[in-house]
Amino acid sequence: MSGPNHAADALGALSWGWSGILRCYARPRGRRSVREAHPAYSPGSSAEREAAEDHHSVVAFLGEEVVGTASLWITDGLGQMHVPDGPWRKAEAGIGYMIDPAHAGRGYATEIASALLSLAFDDLGVHRVTAGCFADNVASWRVMEKLGMRREQHGVRDSWHAERGWIDGFTHAMLAEEWRARQAR
């Protein structure tokens, strides 16, 4: 990742999808299998393999230094369970990101979150993406709102903080059609 506004590099610096491929776009090693990169990784049951395929993790580098990490996970949306393969299956994604405080305020969180939204909507075809943060984490919820996510929930003491205990949290969300409309501008 060379700087802000390089969304492809944000995901490409070093990302792995548990679908079995480790992608190291900005690293000279190229593609390797997850087993080669992480010998201990071996999903057992088909349910474990399916769950692993629906989780994507990212480590973003600036040169050789880690700037931050992020994840995207796929879930079912709310739906009527009597419909075996309704459109609600694997229709939602959640995203989360953390930036090293030494690199805060440089646009990396926006870049990474934008790349995750693109992955969710453009590549994985989900209907909706959500993200959450502590209510007093102004930088994080500003990133979400800058990208067009709307605040849908203010949870009162719904989030656990290791030093402060139960604190308020926010949930933001965006629909696929909202993402496409923003991209068309």
DSSP E strands: which ranges in 76-140? 92-99, 128-134
Query: pLDDT, tens digit, for every residue of 86-96?
Result: 888 899 999 99
Query: pLDDT, tens digit, for every residue of 37-56?
Result: 333 334 455 555 455 678 88
Q: How far apart are CA 167 and CA 36, in angstroms?
A: 41
- The whole-chain average pLDDT of the chain stands at 77
What per-residue confidence (pLDDT) applies to 167? 97
pTM, 2 dp:
0.74
What per-residue confidence (pLDDT) applies to 40? 38
What per-residue confidence (pLDDT) applies to 35? 31
pLDDT along the chain (185 residues), means of 10: 39 36 28 33 49 77 82 88 81 94 91 92 95 97 98 97 95 98 95
